[in-house]
Amino acid sequence: MSFRMPGEFEPQQAAILIFPERPGSWGYNAKPAQKVFAEIINTTARHEHVYVAVSATTRPTAERLLDRENITLLDIPSDDAWARDVAPTFVRDSESGEVRGISWRFNAWGGTYDGLYAHWERDDAFAEEFCRQAGFPCVSAGDFVLEGGSIHTDGEGTILTTESCLLSPGRNPGMTKEQIEQKLCVMLGADKVIWLPRGIYNDETNEHVDNVCAFIRPAEVVLAWTDDKNDPQYELSAACLEALENCTDAKGRKITVHKLPIPDIPVRVTEADLQGYEFEEGEDTREVGERLAASYVNFFFANGIVLLPQFGGENAPSDRRALNIMKRLLPDLEIIPVQAAEIIKGGGNIHCITQQIPEGVKL
């Protein structure tokens, strides 16, 4: 068998989301976030099946807000709602078409070194439990720590990641860069790893790649960008651009880079936002004025569509610019803008709360 991780732009059979409720991530009893999650789930379900993990607490709200057609609710406990990072990463056998999930070790983005909450046992168990309930074979990555948002692939043997994340002391400190690279290639059926130096400024995941750079097709990426040399993001994006311009993919191709500017006005935590959170002991907290890692690169492919985050308000012109760029780059897909300010307040965006299952068969 020859398993590989398909590109996200390839056909999908389903998506996975977790209905939000954690008080330290989603303010005001998660009600504003739940409405946006429901919009994303209902929109995606018009294009492919959607699995939604719920708890006893969130199930009634999910049943009320979600269209039931093409949506399956699964009772799976979790510590938060970041499906990209805790759900399985799926690979497919090129011969049989079998799809199986990979269960990585999850430690809340850094464990005791710099993790974002003190208890993550339910999130760590999520991938295996999802595969059990949904009927997919599951392969364990052992003690290797990885979140789905820290990798992207072109589906043709190239993996994209950031040094700031995967070389973080809170991930796999006992492994060298070369050993981490080898592990990725073995688990994902890849031939080459491209290491970008950094991610998005103030990204509390140690700068996941899914917030700064993404494949839109083989040998072609969008890169979060700013022309403002006084913005702290400028040096980070410039370092990524230099890395991309000086490498080739697994097939020896130069990579075409399209700049996708970040919001012109930084998205920050407000006093009203802060009043809605309820933080528990050992959990990372927020403060008024804190800059959030807002990026339009954090979009999600589903069949025939792209769900593109929008931040609204004073960033409406930036939203329109990002929408027009994506429409130009992906003319055969419907680019659907989603007002996602309530998701970035939790620390991530649309890509962070979704995980795709590629087209294939269950064995």
Would you say residue 363 lies in a domain? no
Residue 352 bears catalytic tag: yes
User: Residue 34: pLDDT above 70?
Assistant: yes
Would you say residue 9 lies in a domain? yes
State the pLDDT at residue 361. 87
pLDDT tens digits, 116-127: 999 999 999 999
Would you say residue 52 lies in a domain? yes
Q: 1 or 204: which carries more pLDDT confidence? A: 204
Which of the following is catalytic: 165, 213, 240, 352? 352
- Stretch 78-106: mean pLDDT, rounded? 97
Question: pLDDT > 70: what percent of the chain?
Answer: 99
State the pLDDT at residue 39. 98
pLDDT tens digits, 271-283: 999 999 999 999 9
User: Residue 1: pLDDT above 80?
Assistant: no
Would you say residue 67 lies in a domain? yes
* CATH number of the domain that residue 232 is part of: 3.75.10.10
pLDDT tens digits, 297-320: 999 999 999 999 999 999 999 999
Name the domain count of the chain: 1
- Stretch 322-329: mean pLDDT, rounded? 98
Domain span holding position 269: 3-358
State the pLDDT at residue 134. 97
87 — pLDDT class (breaks 50, 70, 90) = very high
Angle, CA 217 vertex, CA 215 and CA 220 arms, to 5°: 65
269 — pLDDT class (breaks 50, 70, 90) = very high
pLDDT tens digits, 41-72: 999 999 999 999 999 999 999 999 999 899 99
- Stretch 354-358: mean pLDDT, rounded? 98
State the pLDDT at residue 187. 98
Would you say residue 176 lies in a domain? yes
- Stretch 277-293: mean pLDDT, rounded? 94
Would you say residue 167 lies in a domain? yes
Mean pLDDT taken over the chain: 97
